[in-house]
Chains A and B, each alone.
Chain A
Amino acid sequence: MNPLQREAIAITKELGDIVFVFAVAVLSYLGWRYRSTRDLDIAMASKLTKDQLEQRGYTIFPERGKEVIRSPRGYKIDIYTNDVSDIPIEIVFNTAREVLIGNDTIKVASLELLLVAKLRAMRPSRPQDREDFNKLCERNGKSIDWKALNEIAKEIEVFRIRESVMALAL
């Protein structure tokens, strides 16, 4: 088991009903050996207060002018409570899929949601998003639920994803 898998299991046990988006979700689709940084993004249905997080061993302190949350093991955590790339949090939860790691289960964003979020995040300052998006299209393009995608994506986004899958899917 790699360190990020261990961390995802630990965070799920500590924080309860959460959905991993971005890094952990990408790894769950592309394989846990795929490259990743050590920051984690999670969606939560209801926001935990600073006290509640600290009771669970999380630390919150300012770093370079921003409030940064770290897990008890030092991983940086970004928490989304309203939306993920403009996709409402309810949809993130309703479409999430479960991933089994050993005897434990974590929840990750659906492939369709991840593709839309990556596409919306894509800009010169986020070169990882283009690579992740292209790899997801290449390796998982044939598993996309187009009906589910149509429900969360704009028409132009569905077109871009369809075009990318046509060009890249294995």
Chain B
Amino acid sequence: MDIGTHVDMHAMMIAQQLPQKPVYRVKDIASVTGSLPTAYRKFWKFEEMGIVERVKRGYFTLKECAMQPIPVIKHLMPSLKALKEGRTFGKYYSETDVRIASQLLDGFVTLDYKAYELTRLQTPATLYLYVNSVDNAVKVLKENGFYEGTKGQVVLLPRYGDFTNAIQRMYLDCIAKGGRSILDAVAIEILYSDELSIKGRFPVDLIEKVREDLSLDIVNEPITA
């Protein structure tokens, strides 16, 4: 499926020159582009590609995936678009929601819970679920007492892109999500390298940290979606 969003090479070059900060303003982009109008145009491109998230008072956060090589970013576009359009739900706002939602809905589980199942690296928190019809899934959740909002531990994602290689898709989703999910992506790459035809680029010390954490010889308690 053509997702209608393409990688803007120039915008990505600008994003890759931004200094690492917790939050940014458009004027930070202007310090790279040289003019505020160009900075705004690039910001809108970042937003369209899903590599930034608007927060409050004109600030935004930049996802780590912006630092990936351009050929990798091209493969991240379906995941970025799905995450941008993801809809969040909660009922009891606890782990119970995950259990209820996974009983009510069918779909492709990705990120936290799938990563935990595959790697046991990090405990999961949120159920991310690709569904065939988001509208139908929303209806089911609402009929069962779920509310839509910004908080919640159930996130419905529209299916964009290729799902034929489940581990590859999961891995790309983890890179696209950023933050702690990058650790999951590295763990998947270490454990399932043969299953991956597209691979991201990560710092060596990050790979070493994950490798160390994966070698923990402890009994992991099962946590299932």
Contact = CB atoms under 8 A, between A and B. Distances in A.
Contact of A33 (B55, B95, B213, B221): B95
Interface residues of A, number: 39
A70 B59 CA distance: 42
Given A122-B22, A166-B57, A166-B59, A74 B216 contact: yes
A17 interface: no
A38 B64 CA distance: 23
B215 to A, nearest CB: 7
A35 B208 CA distance: 20
A47 interface: no
Contact of B178 (A131, A137, A166): A131
Interface residues of B, number: 39
Nearest to B126: A35
Contacts of B61: 134
A3 B204 CA distance: 29
Contacts of A56: none
A137 B22 contact: yes
A68 B94 CA distance: 35
Interface string A71-99: 00111100000000000000000000000
Given A33-B125, A127-B180, A134-B61, 17 more contacts: A33-B94, A35-B122, A35-B123, A37-B183, A38-B216, A66-B212, A70-B217, A75-B216, A122-B22, A125-B203, A128-B179, A128-B182, A130-B64, A131-B179, A132-B180, A134-B22, A163-B23
Interface of A: 2-4, 33-39, 63-64, 66, 68, 70, 73-76, 119, 122-128, 130-134, 137, 160, 163-164, 166-168
